[in-house]
Structures are given as structure tokens and as C-alpha cells.
């Protein structure tokens, strides 16, 4: 199968370079170009590409507005190019809010010279997001309505109506096409029994790992939790260092639980979500009560790495844990979940239907490590229930 790509960038150099890189892969063909957002919308309708690569800063219409319009008119998987700055991170998160699927850092140096691994990553991203098919509209979740009588967090926007197809209360019927599948191949206890088991045996902490599509999935899950959520959450999202600061700030504004970028020496507190800083590793101290942020080594492909944090938690937090593996490329999280299971902890994974890329959850499920396989909305509801 040939993947047809529309390249959108106001720089002729970048348009040519992206084309050259993509077409080195035998399955990818660039079928058109656009140098501004308005033209991108027209070409998306005219050419019906399988994937669009999108720049942000362009004349006539910027990339975010173009993404939003394309998602309204002709939903298409869109890969954003982003600068590795705080402002670039903020813009990229806005693009994901508008409906983009994923992003890649945009570097003149890597594009001008032999890009090597950067080229392979671009090709891999394009191929992975096209397998998911056309998105169903803008992806970021709106914040969940706060519990009755609860005061909104400072700076949190007004609550919005539930998204179509999402159950409005715990215990309501699951969305069409959802449905909990407890364990690999639908083996294992019913989801209600899994939740009840966790209510009786409260986990010491909630661990969450994600990659491609993770910012959207994490926002959906965390926005459903009340400010009184009784467990600390440790979150590992594959992101550059400049992005995790902006992402933590964004989540903290819109969620009722407190979300912060983890710092060395942080003590775990209920109702606080600690986001692993990009480019570093997040571990638990020897007592399992606080965090140790380390530069780590080159043994692991990812910084931060889900396996590292999950493994450290399994070793140092005495008691039961709950690990969640969300959408993402690759298999990061599988070995960490294996260690969690050895401590009698539970593991939930996101289902294929609601994933952008099914790699990480699939690796966990295929290894027989998932106690439950759930849609992203169900994951949020079940976390809320066990609280």
C-alpha cells in the first residue's frame, strides 16, 4: 500500500527536503505541496491525502487554524512540525487540541545534512499514524464537569458537556464500540469485578505510560478525576524537555487534580499527578515515598522511559500499584508491567480502537500482562470509580 502525503510548509527548502526524506521509503509518496494554511485546506479536499505534514508559522493562515478547518471539512491524520522551545511546545499542544495526531521537532540542521535517525523517525511516524485511519474530529478532551458542590481549580475553564458517546456517570452504558475486555483475548474477570477488587485493595499509586497520541489520551483520563482523588499519579509521556513543562502547566489549568512537572525530591501526595521531565528519568527513592530525577544513561532508548519508572515503583513502593499503558509506538512499558505483576499489582491497557498507535498497549496485552483492556474514556471512568 502506498501512503500519499501532502506537505505543508512556507519554506521551499523544507518542502523539498521532507519530500526527499519521505520518498526514500518505498511505501511513501508525496502527492502535493502547500505553502500556507488556506492552500493546505484546499489541497486536503482536492487530493485526499492519507497523511498531512504541517508547519505552524505560515502566511495567510497558520497551522493551527488550518488543522482545525481540515478536521472539520476533511478529517485527515496530521503530523505537526514543532520548534524545540517552550513556545513551540505550547503551539504544538494547541495543534493537538485542534486535532493533529502527533508532532516532530523541526530542525534545520538535521534537515540540511544527512538526517539519519531523524529521517527514519519521520517515515515511521507517517506510516504509524496512517494505519490508525482518519481521525474523528478534534481530539483533545474537554475537562470533565466537577463533582456537585466542588469548586473549580483556579484558572480552570468552565466545564463542558460530555463528549458524544461518553457515559455521563459511573455505571452508565459504555460508548458504542467500547466495552471493557478484561485481559488478553477477553479472559479474566469482568471489569466491574476488577474495579471492585481495586476498591477493596487500594493501590498505593497509579502509574501511567504513553507516547504517540498520549497528550490527548492523558488529558481525557486526567480531566475526569476529582480534586479529591486519593492516590498519587506518576506519568511518563515520551516528550522533549521543553515540552513537558508546557504540558504539565496545560494539564494543571484544565484538570481538577494538581499536575506538575516532577522535580528531584518531590514527595508523593494524593491527588497530585507528577509528569516525568523530558530528557530525564523519573524513579522512586528507596523508601518509595519520594521521587528521584536522574539523567540516566544510554541503556534505554527513551528519556523518560516507562519501563524505568514502572520498574522503580515495583521495587520501591511497598504495596499494590495500578499501571496503565496508553497509546504509543514501540513496546516501552511491557517490561515494567512484567515487574509490576510480580508484586501482585494490576495492569490496564488502552484498547486498539481508541489508540492513535496501538504499539505499547498491544505489547503489554500480547505478553499476557493486561488485567483489563479498556477504551480511553473507560480508563478515566474506572479510575474515578476506584477513587
Q: Which residues are annotated as catalytic?
A: 211, 238, 332
d(CA 333, CA 265): 24
d(CA 74, CA 179): 28
What are the backbone angles phi and psi of residue 172, rounded to the nearest 5°?
-70, 165
Is the CB of residue 241 less than 8 Å from the CB of residue 277? yes
**Angle formed by the axes of helices 306-316 and 334-342, nearest 10°:** 10
Is the CB of residue 158 less than 8 Å from the CB of residue 256? no
d(CA 64, CA 336): 36
Amino acid at each position: 500500500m502506498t501512503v500519499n502525503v501532502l506537505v505543508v510548509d512556507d519554506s521551499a527548502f523544507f518542502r523539498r527536503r521532507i519530500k526527499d526524506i519521505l520518498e526514500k521509503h518505498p511505501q511513501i509518496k508525496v502527492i502535493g505541496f502547500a505553502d500556507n494554511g488556506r492552500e493546505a485546506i484546499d489541497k486536503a479536499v482536492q487530493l485526499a491525502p492519507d497523511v498531512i505534514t504541517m508547519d505552524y508559522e505560515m502566511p495567510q493562515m497558520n497551522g493551527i487554524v488550518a488543522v482545525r478547518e481540515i478536521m472539520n471539512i476533511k478529517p485527515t491524520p496530521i503530523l505537526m512540525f514543532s520548534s524545540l522551545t517552550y513556545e513551540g511546545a505550547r503551539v504544538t499542544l494547541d495543534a493537538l487540541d485542534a486535532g493533529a495526531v502527533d508532532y516532530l521537532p523541526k530542525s534545520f540542521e538535521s534537515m540540511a545534512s544527512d538526517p539519519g535517525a531523524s529521517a527514519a523517525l519521520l517515515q515511521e511516524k507517517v506510516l504509524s499514524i496512517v494505519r490508525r485511519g482518519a481521525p474523528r474530529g478534534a481530539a483533545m478532551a474537554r475537562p470533565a464537569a466537577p463533582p456537585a458542590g466542588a469548586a473549580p481549580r483556579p484558572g480552570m475553564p468552565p466545564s463542558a458537556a460530555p463528549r458524544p458517546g461518553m457515559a455521563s456517570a459511573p455505571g452508565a452504558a459504555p460508548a458504542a464500540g467500547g466495552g471493557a475486555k478484561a485481559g488478553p483475548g477477553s479472559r479474566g474477570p469482568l471489569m466491574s469485578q476488577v474495579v471492585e477488587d481495586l476498591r477493596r485493595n487500594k493501590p498505593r499509586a497509579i502509574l501511567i505510560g504513553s507516547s504517540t497520541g498520549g497528550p490527548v489520551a492523558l488529558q481525557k483520563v486526567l480531566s475526569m478525576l476529582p480534586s479529591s482523588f486519593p492516590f498519587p499519579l506518576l506519568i511518563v509521556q515520551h516528550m522533549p524537555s521543553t515540552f513537558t513543562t508546557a504540558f504539565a502547566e496545560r494539564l494543571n489549568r484544565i484538570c481538577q487534580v494538581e499536575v506538575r512537572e516532577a522535580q528531584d525530591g518531590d514527595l508523593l501526595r494524593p491527588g497530585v499527578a507528577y509528569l516525568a521531565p523530558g530528557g530525564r528519568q523519573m524513579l522512586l527513592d528507596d523508601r518509595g515515598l519520594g521521587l528521584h530525577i536522574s539523567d540516566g544513561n544510554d541503556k534505554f532508548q527513551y528519556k523518560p522511559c516507562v519501563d524505568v519508572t514502572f520498574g522503580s515503583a515495583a521495587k520501591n513502593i511497598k504495596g499494590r500499584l495500578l499501571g496503565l499503558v496508553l497509546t504509543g509506538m514501540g513496546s516501552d512499558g511491557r517490561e515494567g508491567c512484567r515487574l509490576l505483576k510480580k508484586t501482585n499489582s494490576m495492569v490496564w491497557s488502552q484498547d486498539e480502537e481508541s489508540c492513535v498507535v496501538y504499539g505499547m498497549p498491544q505489547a503489554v496485552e500480547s505478553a499476557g500482562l493486561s488485567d483489563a483492556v479498556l477504551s480511553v474514556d473507560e480508563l478515566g471512568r474506572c479510575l474515578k470509580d476506584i477513587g
